[in-house]
Amino acid sequence: MEIIHIHTEGEAIYAKPDYKDSFQVNSFFVGNNLRKYVDHLNVQYVPVFLSEIPALLRRGATPVDVAIVQVSAPDKHGFCSLGISVDVAKAATDAARKIIAYVNPNMPRSHGDGHLHVSRFAAAVYGEEPIFEIPMFGSSEVELAIGRNVASIVEDRATLQMGIGGIPAAVLQCLTGHKDLGIHTEMFTDAVLPLVASGVINGKYKKKHPGKIVSAFAMGTRKLYDFIHDNPMVAMLDAGYVNDTAVIRRNDKVTAINSAVEIDITGQVCADSIGFNIISGVGGQMDFMRGASLSEGGKPIIALASVTEKGVSKIVPFLKEGAGVVTTRAHVHYVVTEYGIADLYGRNIAQRARALISIAHPDHREGLEKKAFELYGRP
């Protein structure tokens, strides 16, 4: 039996070596529960842009016999909602020969693409398990410093894309003085709710889906899920559409804020692995980095702390052996750390090295300068 999925939470029992003769796992995104198993013979990672996964499923390039999905309780017309996870689940239900539904009244009914009539279910199971929650991320002083730097280049009336974690939360905390921001993102969290409540996020000037928060999935607390429930301000849509660069670029001032494991001094971004070890996935980073760069006034941003928790520099002379280049040096415009902002757009290799070294941790700048001189003849 082959199991196909993107990010999952909880124990991945099916990936354990004990079951290698029963299950073959192909994951489009490696969560914490798969990291210790991935690259075993029966657990593999499939590198692919999030925007392309729905087409893989619908075209049959990755065949789906059975789609197992969690849905809301049916309405009076018999329609259930995919709720907070439309992303690639909608494409899976379109492509599958059979759909098995876990019907859960705790799943919010979202507006958008994720509606399925009960007549399409080959089988359904009813349950009332709480929807998985991720608590609000607190932000460290370093993350707040990064947030302030990012916020300084976010313009009023911008359309934002950002992910999950301390840095995106810190950026949002630092945008309270902005006006008329919009959201078009692959995912969002509780961190947007205060800005919606204050009117900072209203989508008033979006050209595509004005006034709406557009997303493919959401992860947060019950407060976020209650906000999404039957809220016409929120449109949960297919990832093939949300992450399409042709759609993203139609909004002006698209500001895409993404992170990285490490970045070399030419601007190559590794975001899915530590050397050969896969820790996440390509996801939608490139979809939005490219979409933002094509947007009128758009800003693709890579935001990261200058060092790891162990003090190792994340700005490096060259990426680790085996590291995956998720965002190429040609796609990177802004890189932000707690020490400042490096604008790499249109800069040559030597200029990029100087700019990136200037925002590295002070303890590592001399070593980076020496290596840059060795590699390129100038720091």
What does the alpha-carbon distance between residue 281 and residue 123 come to, in Å, rounded to a whole number? Answer: 32
Ordered by where they begin, the domains of the chain are 2-126 (3.40.1080.10), 141-376 (3.40.1080.20)
What does the alpha-carbon distance between residue 143 and residue 148 come to, in Å, rounded to a whole number? Answer: 9
Per-block mean pLDDT, blocks of 10 residues, the chain (379 long): 95 94 96 91 94 97 97 98 98 98 98 97 97 88 97 98 92 97 97 97 98 97 98 98 98 97 97 94 96 98 97 97 95 98 96 97 97 81
User: Which pTM value belongs to this model?
Assistant: 0.95
CB 304 within 8 A of CB 337: yes
pLDDT on residue 257: 97
Task: Point out the residues that are catalytic.
Answer: 186
pLDDT on residue 70: 98
CB 356 within 8 A of CB 267: yes
Cβ neighbourhood burial of 26 (10 Å; 0-12, 13-18, 19+): middle
pLDDT on residue 378: 63
* Single-letter residue type at 70: Q
pLDDT on residue 41: 82
Cβ neighbourhood burial of 235 (10 Å; 0-12, 13-18, 19+): buried
What does the alpha-carbon distance between residue 7 and residue 117 come to, in Å, rounded to a whole number? Answer: 25
Contacts of 269 (CB under 8 A, 6+ apart): 260, 263, 285, 302, 325, 326, 327, 328, 332
What does the alpha-carbon distance between residue 139 and residue 177 come to, in Å, rounded to a whole number? Answer: 19
Q: How many helices (H) and strands (E) does the chain have?
A: 11, 24
Contacts of 86 (CB under 8 A, 6+ apart): 110, 112, 113, 114, 216, 217, 236, 237, 238, 239
CB 236 within 8 A of CB 218: yes
pLDDT on residue 164: 86
